Amino acid sequence: MGKLGRLFKKMHIKNLKMYTVFGRKKYMKHLCKIYKKYGVQFESQLPRFIASDVYFDTTAKIFIGEGTTITSNCLLLTHDHAIEYGYYACEANYNKEFRIQKEIRIGKWSFIGQRTIILPGVTIGDNVIVGAGSIVTKDLKSNGVYAGSPAKFICSTSDYYKRRSEIDKEYIVNTN
């Protein structure tokens, strides 16, 4: 592991300690200040939670809505160099560098599951749940549960809540 890797590991451990000692709200204020310096934009209210190991590619803008949760090891990619290599394959003498850059928008009170990849130009609506390990390639409409590679509509968030609260009612714990 190189110097940069060790630095991020230390920062991740420091942020976890800060979360434990000061609580979620102070942790989020601290983390959001850091992310804002790199171009991530938040609504007037803070997100509910963003893991400290989320990768934000800030080549283009990223907007995150109030109350949103982004869990660990997620990737939010705002650029793509693949088109450049397509041109190389088609035109042998082409020697310019270029890429696609598109912003990402995540609505209010959405939940992004662990190790999700969100590709350039995607808009995720309000009250959306994205299952762990999903690859989001297209816009996701509000009030839906999506999962898979590529992410596809599973059911509405209200149907999901009804099903899960019935199936797992003995395991639901109030964390307030």
Task: Tell me which of 12, 30, 79, 81 is the catalytic residue.
Answer: 81
- Picking from 110, 85, 81, 106, the residue whose alpha carbon sits closest to that of residue 95 is 85
Instruction: Enumerate the β-bridge partners of residue 137.
Output: none
Say which residue the tokens 């590709």 belong to. 119
CA–CA gap between residue 154 and residue 147 (Å, rounded): 7
CA–CA gap between residue 173 and residue 166 (Å, rounded): 14
Q: Enter the tokens of residue 124.
A: 């995720």
81 among known catalytic residues: yes
CB 61 within 8 A of CB 42: no
* Catalytic machinery residues: 81
